[in-house]
Structure 1
Amino acid sequence: MKPLVSLLLMLPLTATAQSPGDLPTLSLWLQGNFSSEQQSQQLENYFHLQLHTVPVWTASSSGPWLYMEQASFKRPERPYRQRLLHLQQTAPGQFTYTPYTLNQPQQYMQAWRYPARLAPLTPDQITVRNGCEVYLHWQAEQQRYHGQTRVGTCASKMYGASYTTIEISVYQDRIVKWARGYDADHNFIWGGSQGGYRFDRLSQ
């Protein structure tokens, strides 16, 4: 990561009030512990998954950074996806959600439960997933942040796909994520057949 970004991570954030539709609220609604248990009981072929998100690099002035982890309920200690997310506001009611991979993800497994594991993490230990940015906008009527990746830009080789699309809706009480894979000719290869995974916020 460029030295300028590293410098930004060391600068203090200005305290701001939170209200639906702003950047601090988007960050807050993404944070917490979530589960797809209820959906898995209602829909066939939807699994019981867990989603955990915690803040990291809280002194950054370049927008919130979050550590996100997804795992099966059966194997919470072995997450299948670990990401750093960088949130930025680009215009009133418009935001970007940029995912980064961790160069050594095994070092940070269950860091949402053990925050000290994130302490050694530095910007040179992550890699941006170019083309996988999610472009979100605030929808006041639905009281949600909603958006998706651009078509064909987020490369993926999973199950023979050429690229993936990610659609996300962020509510105060849940997050809905719909990932789908396509081949180079834009033919559907994999993904949820009845919409995205619905992660309900847990009370604890």
Structure 2
Amino acid sequence: MGTDSNGWNRARGLAVKALLFIGGALLVKRLRKSTTRWDHARLVAQSLTGEKYSKDQASRDPDNYFNIRMLTCPAAELVDGSKVLYFEQAFWRSPQKPFRQRLLMAKPCPKELKCDVELSTYAIRDMEEYKNFCDRPKDQRPQPEEVIGDIGEHLTTIHLKRCSRGKRCLYEGSSPPGGFPNSWNGATYCTSELAVMKNSEIHTWDRGYDDDGNQVWGQKEGPYEFKPAPTSCFSDMLSPLSLPPLPPMDRRIEGSFILQE
């Protein structure tokens, strides 16, 4: 009788475990299905937000990459729910002097496209008003209604898809075939690629091409890799022992996407 009882208890325990496993799998599946189109847009916007640096990449390959500070923060929200972010890049030595300022807009992809998030880049009508936007108190920045009014020329759009299981990224995508018009440094069009990584890194790769398809600006080796700033970032950056020699200005500019306008 004791043996039968133990066998029954063991069988019942296995059955309960199986039910819990199946229930957990169904819950995960349901959660995945319940992720709305707007949830994806919000997640991409949140992943882009914050202070990130390409310091590690610049240390590994100083001939091809610079230590760039990328700073992004929420700026406004449209009536349809689209998230508008302010984005700027600066050399880490002079974060108060951004060389690139943009407004980004994240929203769900149009239903006819096979993607999850549409991320568009816009020029700013008065960039000087937005310099160091994210570093300033909210009452000393352009307010959301002003931001919406200052959205300027559309520059690029990237269509992002959720990454397949097993990949290091959460979302990845690129500009449509043929890219977008661009005239900087002899280019006629440009392309953009973006990956949102699981470890909160952002990988970006912008390149410009001429009429013959020759690359005339941008990195040739691979994307820039921006990692979230550690809490000690500024103290590390300002240490005299951590200051590498400045590269010549002509090398800094030549072929570098970060200065593309």
Shorter-chain TM range is: 0.7 to 0.9
Per the normalisation by structure 1, the TM-score is: 0.83
Per the normalisation by structure 2, the TM-score is: 0.65
Deviation for aligned residue 1:17: 8.1
Q: Contact 1:98–1:128 at 8 Å: present in 2 too?
A: no
Alpha-carbon spacing, 1:171–1:69, altered in 2? closer, same or farther (3 Å):
same
Give unpaired runs (5+ residues) of structure 2: 1-33, 232-261
Kindly report which structure 2 residues correspond to 1:45-56, keeping only aligned pairs within 5 A, or say none.
45-56=64-75
Distance 1:122 1:33 in 2: 20
**Is the counterpart of residue 31 in structure 1 residue 58 in structure 2?**
no
Kindly report which structure 2 residues correspond to 1:107-186, keeping only aligned pairs within 5 A, or say none.
107-114=129-136, 115=138, 116-119=140-143, 121-130=146-155, 132-141=156-165, 142=167, 143-172=169-198, 173-186=200-213
Counterpart among 107, 125, 128 of residue 103 in structure 1: 125
Structure whose residues are more often strand by fraction: 1
Distance 1:190 1:122 in 2: 30
Deviation for aligned residue 1:70: 0.7
Q: Which amino acid letter does the alignment assign opposite residue 57 of structure 1?
A: A
Residue-by-residue CA offset, 1:21-40 (whole Å, 9 max, x unaligned):
72221111111110000100
Q: Segments of 4+ in structure 1 off by > 4 A?
A: none
Deviation for aligned residue 1:202: 1.5
Deviation for aligned residue 1:66: 0.8
Q: Contact 1:97–1:133 at 8 Å: present in 2 too?
A: yes
Q: Which amino acid letter does the alignment assign opposite residue 54 of structure 1?
A: C
Alpha-carbon spacing, 1:22–1:123, altered in 2? closer, same or farther (3 Å):
closer
Alpha-carbon spacing, 1:169–1:82, altered in 2? closer, same or farther (3 Å):
same
**Structure number with larger C-alpha Rg:** 2
**Is the counterpart of residue 68 in structure 1 residue 90 in structure 2?**
no
Number of residue pairs the alignment of both structures matches: 186
Match of 1:7 in 2: none
Match of 1:9 in 2: none
Match of 2:17 in 1: none
3-state SS in 2 of match to 1:52: strand
Distance 1:165 1:69 in 2: 19
Counterpart among 108, 129, 137 of residue 89 in structure 1: 108
Q: Which amino acid letter does the alignment assign opposite residue 108 of structure 1?
A: Y
Match of 2:59 in 1: 41
Distance 1:93 1:129 in 2: 20
Distance 2:102 2:42 in 1: 19
Q: Which moved more, 1:111-120 or 1:63-72?
A: 111-120
Q: Which moved more, 1:116-125 or 1:177-186?
A: 116-125
Residue-by-residue CA offset, 1:119-149 (whole Å, 9 max, x unaligned):
272423221325x111111113224211111
Structure whose residues are more often helix by fraction: 2
Q: Which amino acid letter does the alignment assign opposite residue 94 of structure 1?
A: D
Q: Contact 2:189–2:210 at 8 Å: present in 1 too?
A: yes
RCO higher in 1 or 2 (8 Å CA, sep ≥ 6)?
Answer: 1
Deviation for aligned residue 1:153: 3.6
Give unpaired runs (5+ residues) of structure 1: 1-15
